[in-house]
Structure 1
Amino acid sequence: MSGPAPHTPRGPRGSRDPEYAVVIPTLGRPSLGACLRALAAAVDAGGPPPRRIVLVDDRPPYDSTPLAVDIPDRFQALVRSIPGCAGGPAAARNTGWEAAPEPWIVFLDDDVLPGPRWATDLAADLAAAGPATAGIQARITVPLPQDRPPTDWERNTAGLATSQWITADMAYRRSALEALGGFDERFPRAFREDADLALRALDAGWNLAIGSRRTTHPVRPAGRWVSVRTQAGNADDVLMNRLHGRGWWARAGAPRGRLPRHLAVTAAGAGALALTAARRPRAAAVSAALWLAGTAEFAAARILPGPRTRDEITTMALTSAVIPPVAAWHWTRGLLRHRRERPREPGPPPPNGTGHADRKRMDGPVR
């Protein structure tokens, strides 16, 4: 493991800056280099450097090629790459923070860009944290095109700017991670594992805060069927229901989505096929009309706010027909897989019992 930074910077009053490590799970995407360069620029601008940077290489075990990334010169002695288990971001983050002894762990995604004042503002965020503050979230910006309306995928990504406790840039106190058992590795995707940890922290009496540092989350390139692949998250929502009850949506500030409509549209389509097989043409026609109306409404809701290019309209028309049955499939799969899961007992409270389980946000100044 890499040693500490060559020097320990001190704040304007001579106090020691908070010590932190940066943990970045990665699949080796080219964006990792840009993330490290932005982080180095923020440190060069005057902020305290991390004590270490842990890159968790979460590629499959059969991919034995070295992690290809250009590490900035100032981070050469700080960066350590360790193998993950290809178990998803929750498992990778656990691997990362367990390898870093610093009192604060800052989790970054490998496709974000810390802002120019990131290191300075992070130090202020951590210094201002009380003993019962488990985590401090950055303020996320998602740049959208200025010359046209955003696509469906761009609008989905833009939702990160208003999401709570996302680990695109989230600092957690190491003692809180230890007390809470880290991320729940039953969440295999970059979806809901962050909300689960945050709700467990709040249930145990810890505080969560919104800091002043800013990070940009660009919209990454995605293929035509990306919105279909993301429907796998419906299985994770089932697990959240089992662990936190149906009220977790409001507590986590998460939108409910269209699952009930997807189930209804899927039932109408399946009914049309079954009734056709049963030689009941009139009833089959009614079910088919309901399916068509539901699919058309879904497509229109996605097309109208967008750029309405030929490619976008084609993508929305195709995926709007496919998403409802795929969402229903993953929801059903989640019901079967997680049918025996039960809520866990709350973790130990913060020091001196000073937390407030109902306090979700402590907004700092906007910079």
Structure 2
Amino acid sequence: MDPRVGSTGTLPDGMRVVLDRRVRRLAGRDGGSALLGGAPPKLVHLTPRAQAVLGTGDSVTVADPVSRALARTLLDSGFAHPAHPIPGGPGRGEVTVVVPVKDRPLDRLLAALPADLGGLVVVDDGGADPEGLAATVKAAHGRVIRHETPRGPAAARNAGLVAATTPLVMFLDSDVVPQEGWLDPLLDHLADPAVALVAPRIVALHPVRGAVGRYEAVRSSLDLGPDPALIVPRSRVAYVPSAAMLVRRDAVGAGFDEDMHVAEDVDLVLRLHAAGRRLRYEPAARVAHDHRTSPREWWLRKAYYGTGAAPLARRHRGAVPPMVLSPWTAAACAALLAQRRWSVPVAAAVTAVAAERLSRKLSRLERPRFSAARLAGLGLSGAGLQVANALLRHHWPLAAALVPFSRRARRAVLLAALAEGLGDWWTHRRYDPAVRPDPVTHLVAHRLDDLAYGAGLWWGALKARDTAALRPASPGRK
């Protein structure tokens, strides 16, 4: 990693960046070292200058051209995240909050907004009580733009974007309630001129009720977890929802694509990423969302989300595949799915060959074969998890078609359903400290969640007559 390489944009003096907790440092033969991690994951070797700046610690403070360039490179590759507070960020007076709404009360949302904002624009998308809404918004010192007939949330947000006069716009949906201290961590990130969008963590609005509510509190599609991230396609955080996102007005152009009635937020994220802008997820900022808890409404909303995959895959080829598998992990997983006597030996042999080939590329490391074996094991386990997830979520109609006729298919589906479901419960069980979902309820809800999304995905693909959203991809290929 050369600290002179990075995107444009000057980081402020005193800014500190901290290595992501998943990053691993590997020793080199010549006394140097390499970093394993990033978004998407990669292995990079530190140059002597970069190693001297990073030292044996896990952070870099911007103080001179070399540390500034190294911090820039670590941020842009997802190896590190800014540490708060970040000097030089904009103030709240540079932010206009834009809220699209249709027939929903706004009192709790407006009460949670700070008083020193630069503006508030509420877009009434064809609601039935324009006078009542106008009075509520006027009391909060905001203005209302009205669409006489509903045009959808994308068009409503765009209308607010056009009306805003501040350099920053914070989109908030009408069913969210910002939590204490939510805005400043987002504004901090905009001290980096390369960042065009930053989004908070979406958590459950309490009190949480019912089995669906408990599941959503720890496993909502809107909650992207407790760790900060660079938002990058095919990575741990590949998108952020428009329920709450802060953007630079001059970076988003015309805003959301009004022809998209679902996944328009993911489309915006992918367009900004393709344009070379930096996008960040900041879980220190929390915005509570009033999740759907009626089983029927919840299931239909999950299916609705699935219908967005086909138009996204058509617009952004290779950016939203159901799986990303290298040839050797695909071969190893296929061998294991065959469930023959030779399956484990063949999968082990394929993995061993892949590890040996990888070790030749890691010759600069102190223990290349050990590191290669470790990486190959991680690659195979990750691929296995993807296959299990796709079997139960993206491709469950195919699995369901095989189950009545194949004992091996039944065994594979049952094992995947139990192992992946319990593993998902274990991973997410502490996402909301006030909620403790039991494993059985979580597993059942998770399987219903996958069935809904997969049904929507296949419906959208058939409607679009485009199978791109169903096809796996290889790393580095779109």
Does TM, normalized by the shorter one, top 0.5?
yes
Q: What is the alpha-carbon distance in structure 2 between the residues aligned to residue 211 and residue 114 of structure 1?
A: 14
Q: What is the alpha-carbon distance in structure 2 between the residues aligned to residue 211 and residue 300 of structure 1?
A: 27
Do the aligned partners of 2:186 and 2:282 also contact (CA within 8 Å) in 1?
yes
Is 1:57 paired with 2:124? yes
Is 1:160 paired with 2:223? yes
Identify which range, 215-224 or 106-115, moves more after superposition: 215-224
Deviations 1:172-224 (A, max 9, x none): 1111122xx311234313xx322221221121122224569723314434201
Name the CA shift for 1:200/1:290 in 2 (closer, same or farther; >3 Å): same
Do the aligned partners of 1:22 and 1:54 also contact (CA within 8 Å) in 2?
yes
Question: Of residues 136, 141, 148 in structure 2, which corresponds to 1:71?
Answer: 136
What is residue 138 of structure 1 aligned with on the other side?
A: 200
Is 1:205 paired with 2:205? no
Shift of the alpha carbon at 1:80?
Answer: 1.8
Name the CA shift for 1:147/1:154 in 2 (closer, same or farther; >3 Å): closer
Q: What is the alpha-carbon distance in structure 2 between the residues aligned to residue 212 and residue 265 of structure 1?
A: 32
Identify which range, 225-234 or 111-120, moves more after superposition: 111-120
Do the aligned partners of 1:142 and 1:161 also contact (CA within 8 Å) in 2?
no
Deviations 1:254-290 (A, max 9, x none): x979454246543465578xxxxxxxxxx76969967
Q: What is the alpha-carbon distance in structure 2 between the residues aligned to residue 300 and residue 244 of structure 1?
A: 30
**What one-letter code is carried by the residue in structure 2 that aligns with 1:176?**
A
What is residue 164 of structure 2 aligned with on the other side?
A: 100
Matches within 5 A, 1:217-256: 217-229=288-300, 230-248=302-320
Is 1:185 paired with 2:252? no
Q: What is the alpha-carbon distance in structure 2 between the residues aligned to residue 328 and residue 55 of structure 1?
A: 34
Do the aligned partners of 2:392 and 2:447 also contact (CA within 8 Å) in 1?
no
Q: What is the alpha-carbon distance in structure 1 between the residues aligned to residue 192 and residue 162 of structure 2?
A: 22
Name the CA shift for 1:152/1:38 in 2 (closer, same or farther; >3 Å): same
Q: Secondary structure at the match of 2:309?
A: helix
Deviations 1:307-361 (A, max 9, x none): 4599x59x948x957963x54543233224434799xxxxxxxxxxxxxxxxxxx
Name the CA shift for 1:214/1:68 in 2 (closer, same or farther; >3 Å): farther
Deviations 1:125-159 (A, max 9, x none): 54x242x4322323544467899997322222275
Shift of the alpha carbon at 1:111?
Answer: 2.5
Name the CA shift for 1:337/1:114 in 2 (closer, same or farther; >3 Å): same
Q: What is the alpha-carbon distance in structure 1 between the residues aligned to residue 309 and residue 132 of structure 2?
A: 34
Is 1:261 paired with 2:392? yes
Q: What is the alpha-carbon distance in structure 2 between the residues aligned to residue 236 and residue 175 of structure 1?
A: 26
Do the aligned partners of 1:259 and 1:327 also contact (CA within 8 Å) in 2?
no
Shift of the alpha carbon at 1:228?
Answer: 2.2
Aligned-residue Cα RMSD (Å) equals 4.7
**What one-letter code is carried by the residue in structure 2 that aligns with 1:330?**
G
Do the aligned partners of 2:200 and 2:286 also contact (CA within 8 Å) in 1?
yes
**What one-letter code is carried by the residue in structure 2 that aligns with 1:34?**
R
Shift of the alpha carbon at 1:300?
Answer: 6.4
- Structure 1: gaps of 5 or more residues: 1-11, 273-282, 343-367
Do the aligned partners of 2:92 and 2:118 also contact (CA within 8 Å) in 1?
no
Do the aligned partners of 2:168 and 2:249 also contact (CA within 8 Å) in 1?
yes
Is 1:33 paired with 2:143? no
What is residue 194 of structure 1 aligned with on the other side?
A: 265
What is residue 181 of structure 2 aligned with on the other side?
A: 117
Q: Paired residues, what number?
A: 294
- Structure 2: gaps of 5 or more residues: 1-86, 226-236, 325-384, 430-435, 469-478
Deviations 1:215-270 (A, max 9, x none): 3314434201244211222221122222222344699xxx9794542465434655
**What one-letter code is carried by the residue in structure 1 that aligns with 2:215?**
D
**What one-letter code is carried by the residue in structure 2 that aligns with 1:50?**
G
Name the CA shift for 1:220/1:295 in 2 (closer, same or farther; >3 Å): same
Q: What is the alpha-carbon distance in structure 2 between the residues aligned to residue 147 and residue 235 of structure 1?
A: 27
Q: What is the alpha-carbon distance in structure 1 between the residues aligned to residue 281 and residue 413 of structure 2?
A: 44
**What one-letter code is carried by the residue in structure 1 that aligns with 2:316?**
H
**What one-letter code is carried by the residue in structure 1 that aligns with 2:136?**
I
Deviations 1:23-82 (A, max 9, x none): 11123333x21111010xx33xxxx3223x111223xx5x53337557377623x23242
**What one-letter code is carried by the residue in structure 1 that aligns with 2:140?**
F
Q: Secondary structure at the match of 2:165?
A: coil
Is 1:334 paired with 2:466? no
Q: What is the alpha-carbon distance in structure 2 between the residues aligned to residue 170 and residue 322 of structure 1?
A: 25
Q: What is the alpha-carbon distance in structure 2 between the residues aligned to residue 159 and residue 25 of structure 1?
A: 18
What is residue 90 of structure 1 aligned with on the other side?
A: 154
Q: What is the alpha-carbon distance in structure 1 between the residues aligned to residue 401 and residue 91 of structure 2?
A: 64
